[in-house]
Amino acid sequence: MELFISIFAALFSVLNPLGTVPVFVGLTKDDSKHNRDKTSLWTSINVCVILLISFFAGSYVLNFFGISINSLRLAGGLIITTSGFALLTGSFTKHKGMKKASVQADMETRSEVSLTPLAIPMLAGPGSISLLIAYNQSFTNQYQQISSVCAIFAVCLSIYLILRTSHFIVKALGASGINAISRIIGFIVIAIGVEYVSTAVKDILGIS
């Protein structure tokens, strides 16, 4: 249970579904409730598929390119830390490469947004993908693998519930409330990134 909670907290912080709420509301403001619920469901399913593929197939990608786990931890830690700073400074949407104008232009050319831009890159970005690849390398026994998969499912369920109630969340918290929560999460994300970098550096230098 402790491992499950640890992985869930780390993934939830890195994905930051609360930070995606304003974007989701903006993209679906003209949709019916049924369509919003459908978009929420498919977004969470898409994220789940991406995260599971990252977790189970990521190690093969590392082996193919000859990348060590410590190199991945360093790169992933830097990406996660950068995402945390973006959350802390309120520039997460820009950091994800989803400026408002480009989102609106994308909406004008497509009706389905559950895969892009919501699942990728707003939720399942490089930080979460590298985090899961590192988890796959670190957690190798059956119990750890099952706990990791359960944590992924739990995070995706949380994403679905948050997105489905996003319009109520915006009304209840307002823009300032969501920004405040995102900044708190940003601090946690920075700590996760720094922990990954420090762990990789210790392993490389042989420091216990």
Mean pLDDT of 146-171: 93
What percent of the chain stands above pLDDT 90?
26
Q: What is the pLDDT of residue 108?
A: 43
Tell me the average pLDDT across 75-95: 72
CA 59-65-71 angle, to 5 degrees, is 70
96: pLDDT strictly greater than 70: no
**pLDDT > 70: percent of the chain:** 88
Please state which of the ranges 50-59, 63-72, 104-113 shows the lowest mean pLDDT.
104-113
Rounded distance between C-alpha atoms, residue 165 and residue 159, angstroms? 10
Highest mean pLDDT among 22-26, 168-172, 177-181: 168-172
Confidence of residue 90 (pLDDT cuts 50, 70, 90): low
Residue 99 has pLDDT above 50, yes or no: no
What is the pLDDT at residue 164? 93
Instruction: Assign 137 to helix, strand or coil.
Output: helix
- DSSP track, 98-120: --HHHHHHHHHH-S--IIIIIII
Q: For residues 91 and 190, which has the higher predicted lDDT (pLDDT)?
A: 190
Please tell me which residue, 95 or 170, carries the higher pLDDT value.
170
CB 70 within 8 A of CB 203: yes
Which pLDDT tens digit goes with each residue over 101-113?
444 444 444 446 7
86: pLDDT strictly greater than 90? no
Q: State the number of CA atoms in the 13 A half-sphere of 35 facing the CB.
A: 11
